[in-house]
Amino acid sequence: MRLVAGLVRGKQVDQAKAILLNSTKSAARNVMVTLKSAVANYSQLNPDERVSDNELFVKAVFVDEGPSLRRLLPAPMGRAYRIRKRSNHLTIVVDKVKTPVTK
């Protein structure tokens, strides 16, 4: 997940969506859903602004450790191997691109 998150960090939203659509990683689908949700949340929090995907950029991406499921796999001679099925928490922050003011 962190590999895919690193691909879209700092990019414009339309570029990030294009990268995720062409990525072969399975985590790209989850990042795409979260990115669309972040854009929708931005538009809900700023109803007076009409922004498109090329005016927004990915400000920050956090991938934190989530709960892990512990499973046992049978092993030889009556032993058991522990398998940890890890999960994660993904946070994406989007913001409007600020144009520099020239004097």
- Alpha-carbon distance of 11 to 59, in angstroms, equals 8
What CATH number is given to the structural domain containing 67? 3.90.470.10
Q: How does residue 74 score in pLDDT terms, banded at 50, 70 and 90?
A: very high
Per-residue confidence (pLDDT) for residue 102, from 0 to 100:
65
Give domain status of residue 102, yes or no.
no
CB atoms within 10 A of CB 38: 21
Per-residue confidence (pLDDT) for residue 53, from 0 to 100:
82
Give domain status of residue 101, yes or no.
no
Per-residue confidence (pLDDT) for residue 51, from 0 to 100:
85
Average pLDDT over every residue of 79-94? 95
Q: How many domains does the chain have?
A: 1
> What pTM did the predictor assign?
0.84
Give domain status of residue 84, yes or no.
yes
Q: Domain of residue 12: give its range.
A: 2-96
Give domain status of residue 19, yes or no.
yes
Least confident among 17-21, 52-56, 99-103: 99-103
Give domain status of residue 17, yes or no.
yes
